[in-house]
Structure 1
Amino acid sequence: MNLFFNTDAATLSPIALFIQADWVVKFVMLGLLAASIWVWAIIVGFGRRIGRLRRTSEKFESDFWKADDIDAFHRLHKDSALPIARVFGAGVSEWRRSTAGKTIDRAGTRERLATAMGAAIASEIDRLADRLNVLATVGAVAPFVGLFGTVWGIMRAFTGIAQAQSSSLAVVAPGIAEALFATALGLFAAIPAVIAYNRFGHGINRVEARLNRFADGFHTTLSRQLEGQG
């Protein structure tokens, strides 16, 4: 009994299940494993990116509200890749274009400023969220890919029963275990992807809210300055 237990445990180990699996199920397992590695790489990289972005944005905004000269501040940060810096740059560029003439259309200038910064915000959020579609795709598709491997493995188990003309555990167990292992790999890839997608989506919403607040504040500052124009 003890010997049977040890052999069974070895046969049902993940490595043994992969080795003895049909080539179709092997392909499914490798695909799900690659998807899982890709998901975790995105989770680690994007998590660090969001944290760094939050810290640098807070510093940029704090420095901006302390600055006395907007033009000097823009020259200092015009090459920055920060989303908030690009929104700021879009506002400054539109301000300069709208106030360059002798006559200034105040209402039109305010509208163009809001449009320019709003477009910059949308562009930055799209760029930031670009890789999240991978998480959404893996989270939605991986369970079904694992289910395909499960169905195929169960079909193999029934084929083994028919060939051996026996329904004993020794005949059924490898195919069933192989099928369930494919399901487990699908869930292993999908669950972190779904959790990370929701979490990072919330983080992106917070970044967008910060950018909108900054744009509103900057728009208010420029509107006051516009009132002082002759």
Structure 2
Amino acid sequence: MSILQTLAAGTAMAPTRLDPIELFMAADIVVQAVILGLVLASVWVWAIIVGFTLRMSNLRRKSGAFEDEFWTNTDVDGLLDGRRRKDNPSARVAASGIAEFRRSHKSGLKDKEAARARVAQAMEGQVALESDSLADRLNFLATVGSVAPFVGLFGTVWGIMNSFFQIGLQQNSSLAVVAPGIAEALFATAIGLFAAIPAVIAYNRLSGTVNGFEARLTRFSDRVHAQISREMEGV
């Protein structure tokens, strides 16, 4: 085979694009561990995003249906039974206010203003509890969004150090010696960003959704409190 044929054959066999699988398989064990951890984190991030989005849609639908029925249904006890309150934040908020009203009414409503304040506090506390419960599910997104780039950077630094070690070991500073190791190292940073960017965007977006839902519960609790206050005036 002539020199030109050899060069042509080498050119034909040269990769024309990056292969993530090959980069992962050729990487150092530490870099592989970093990449694998980031990939698993990314999968979990997307699972949280999809699951949380579906859950919020379901909660909005259930809460809306309950609130509409609450103002038209005269059977409050039936409306607020345990089965109906299950996984329904609006029902739990209303139940907390009505339960406090009944406890105050049982003691004789000696101080109506104090009773009104207790009812308001009970519902405000339940609204905060519902909001905190929802927001707690987003903590993993915030963690991945802030930590993943640095984890990827750790893998990159480790891979570059390994490339320099190979330079000393082979006593050859040719780009062909260090380029594969550097490419594998930079791949760790790319995976870190791949995990972090959706996590940050989703955290900001879903946090806004939680805040909006909390505001909705607050408005509903205010209306329930107003209704209970009117009933107290007639006692």
Task: Please indicate the TM-score interval, normalised by the length of the shorter structure.
Answer: over 0.9
Asked if the contact 1:77/1:85 (under 8 Å) is kept, the reply is no
Q: Which TM-score applies when normalising by structure 2?
A: 0.90
Deviation at 1:69, TM superposition (A): 4.2
Deviation at 1:76, TM superposition (A): 7.8
Q: Which TM-score applies when normalising by structure 1?
A: 0.92
1:171 aligns with 2:177: yes
1:208 aligns with 2:214: yes
Deviation at 1:7, TM superposition (A): 4.7
1:184 is aligned to: 190
Unaligned runs of 5+ in 1: none
What aligned pairs does 1:21-40 form with structure 2 within 5 A after superposition? 21-40=27-46
Unaligned runs of 5+ in 2: 1-6
2:15 is aligned to: 9
1:94 is aligned to: 100
1:157 aligns with 2:163: yes
What aligned pairs does 1:142-153 form with structure 2 within 5 A after superposition? 142-153=148-159
The separation in 2 between residues aligned to 1:33 and 1:2, in whole angstroms, is: 38
Q: Which amino acid aligns with 2:205?
A: R
User: Aligned with 2:80: secondary structure?
Assistant: helix
The change in CA–CA distance for 1:173 and 1:223 in structure 2 (over 3 A counts) is same
User: Aligned with 1:99: secondary structure?
Assistant: helix
The change in CA–CA distance for 1:2 and 1:193 in structure 2 (over 3 A counts) is farther
1:107 aligns with 2:107: no
User: Aligned with 2:185: secondary structure?
Assistant: helix
For residues 51-109 of structure 1, the C-alpha deviation after alignment (integer angstroms, 9 at most, x for no partner) is: 11111111111111222343443348654321111111101110110111334321011
The separation in 1 between residues aligned to 2:150 and 2:8, in whole angstroms, is: 37
The separation in 1 between residues aligned to 2:193 and 2:22, in whole angstroms, is: 20
2:52 is aligned to: 46
For residues 127-148 of structure 1, the C-alpha deviation after alignment (integer angstroms, 9 at most, x for no partner) is: 1112211000010000000000
Q: Which amino acid aligns with 1:224?
A: R
Asked if the contact 2:41/2:144 (under 8 Å) is kept, the reply is yes
The change in CA–CA distance for 1:54 and 1:6 in structure 2 (over 3 A counts) is farther
1:83 aligns with 2:83: no
The change in CA–CA distance for 1:5 and 1:207 in structure 2 (over 3 A counts) is farther
For residues 184-204 of structure 1, the C-alpha deviation after alignment (integer angstroms, 9 at most, x for no partner) is: 110011001101100110000
Asked if the contact 2:59/2:87 (under 8 Å) is kept, the reply is no
User: Aligned with 2:108: secondary structure?
Assistant: coil
Higher mean displacement: 77-86 or 18-27: 77-86
The change in CA–CA distance for 1:79 and 1:60 in structure 2 (over 3 A counts) is closer
Asked if the contact 2:109/2:115 (under 8 Å) is kept, the reply is no
Q: Percent identity?
A: 55
The separation in 2 between residues aligned to 1:2 and 1:51, in whole angstroms, is: 59
1:193 aligns with 2:206: no
For residues 138-172 of structure 1, the C-alpha deviation after alignment (integer angstroms, 9 at most, x for no partner) is: 10000000000011111112222222333333212
Deviation at 1:180, TM superposition (A): 1.0
